[in-house]
Amino acid sequence: MLVSGLTAMFVCTGAAMAADGAGKEDAIAMVKKAVGFIKAQGAEKAYPEFTGKAAGFVDRDLYVVVYQLDGKVLAHGSNPKFVGKDLIDAQDVDGKLYVKERVEMAAKQPSFWQDYKFVNPVSKKVEPKQMYCEKVDNTAVCAGIYKL
């Protein structure tokens, strides 16, 4: 009975994971991996890796973004056109200044979660999103999950 219960749980979990996007644990792990990569390899090597959609830094709908605390995008795993742009005044569909809020949060705490809405790169729809960020020097290193 225990074996069949475990098998059923494994099959159901595997199917759910294949159909769903990344979860909170995935986002935390991705950010920690990115922070470790920055510390080991330096920002000059890390940021192009994150933006270039390196296999290790993109997972389903999960990707890494890095912001200077003034709102300038240093790396973006979903849209390389954002790199180098000052997005401090960027608003989500509800008018929330999500980048401004994010960098303000990063200035005050070493890690945090933030809620806003953004285009899911997989579904191409605006969806509720939670972004996990860690402050590294004068930057916020982030990865987010989409909540359906």
Over the stretch 22-31, which tens digit does the pLDDT of each residue have? 899 999 999 9
Beta-bridged to residue 133, according to DSSP, are 112, 142
- Dihedral over Cα of 142, 139, 77, 98: its sign: positive
pTM: 0.83
pLDDT at 53: 67
CA of residue 102 relative to chain centroid, distance: 12
Helices and strands, counts by H and E, the chain: 4, 6
Structure tokens at 67: 């912001």
Over the stretch 41-78, which tens digit does the pLDDT of each residue have? 999 999 999 997 666 898 888 999 999 999 999 999 98
Q: At 14, is the secondary structure helix, strand, or coil?
A: helix
pLDDT at 141: 98
Share of the chain above pLDDT 70, in %: 84
